[in-house]
Amino acid sequence: AQSVSQHNHHVILSEAASLELGCNYSYGGTVNLFWYVQYPGQHLQLLLKYFSGDPLVKGIKGFEAEFIKSKFSFNLRKPSVQWSDTAEYFCAVNALRDTGRRALTFGSGTRLQVQP
């Protein structure tokens, strides 16, 4: 079974600071990787996804993530955060191509607070 670890539970940054949120997963096979964001009072929205190909993926709102297979990691980055990036960020994984299972396994989330 897969598991996902997000080691940063709460991150506080000032506007314009750079962001990197860690995500590690445990599964030795082929994975699909996702970052979802949940703005206050809103539903989960997909920020970006990795399926195959270029391990550096770009998502919406200037976010990107890098898949490093050897480290089982899929860290989320943004060069310069804005106050509007204040939200909770969830990393998720599934191994659909190996297992046929579509269920997403989520990390515990990272609460990002951006101070103006």
Partner 1 sequence: EPEVTQTPSHQVTQMGQEVILRCVPISNHLYFYWYRQILGQKVEFLVSFYNNEISEKSEIFDDQFSVERPDGSNFTLKIRSTKLEDSAMYFCASSSASTSGYNEQFFGPGTRLTVL
| Shortest Å, Cβ 86 to partner 1 | 18
Least Å distance, CB 80 to partner 1, is 27
Q: Are 77 and 66 in contact (CB under 8 A)?
A: yes
Interface residues with partner 1 (CB under 8 A) are 30, 32, 34, 36, 42-46, 49, 51, 90, 92, 94, 96-97, 101-109
Residue (of 35, 41, 79, 72) closest to 57 by Cα position: 35
Q: Which residue's CB is nearer to partner 1, number 5 or number 17?
A: 5
Please, which residue, 19 or 48, has the CB nearer to partner 1? 48
Enter the tokens of residue 98: 């190996």
The H or E element spanning position 45 is strand 45-50
Helix (H) or strand (E) holding 99: helix 96-99
C-beta of 19 vs 37, nearer to partner 1:
37
